[in-house]
Amino acid sequence: MLLLWDELADYWNSGDMYTVHDWINERWSRIIQESTSGERDVLARFLQAMAFAALAFHFASERNEESAELFVEDALRTLPEFAPAYAGLRVGPILEGVRALRDRLDGKSQTLWLGVPPLSFQTERIAV
């Protein structure tokens, strides 16, 4: 399956995390059905990690802290495997954004959470 990240980046950078989740889920579902590795497929794991981050940001923006905390934990468990970048996408800023959200939700930070970090590309674009 060829994935081009431009469409995902457009949704992500517009802040539409609900559509981001749908976009990711559609591709994740196809990958786990078609790959002999199923859910262990590395791209499937990456997409799942990104979906966790997207859902954490979505629920935070909806002020649903309980759900946001659950997905923050999942994202922090899965995203580090792909940092600082994977398949041409910069994962480091997303991971930093999830960590900042965790700190804000835990009350460890009094700074204002600035919202969803932008999804950006490495200089070398890679399609997977």
- Per the model's pLDDT, the better-predicted residue between 5 and 49 turns out to be 49
State the DSSP string of 43-88.
HHHHHHHHHHHHHHHHHHHTT-HHHHHHHHHHHHHHGGGG-SEETT
Does the structure show a pLDDT above 90 at 14? yes
pLDDT top residue among 32 and 116? 32
- Global confidence as pTM: 0.89
Task: Calculate mean pLDDT across residues 30-46.
Answer: 96
Domains in the chain: ranges and CATH: 6-105 (1.10.3450)
Binned at pLDDT 50, 70 and 90, residue 116 comes out as: confident
Residues of the chain above pLDDT 70, percent = 88
Tell me, what's the pLDDT at 115? 76
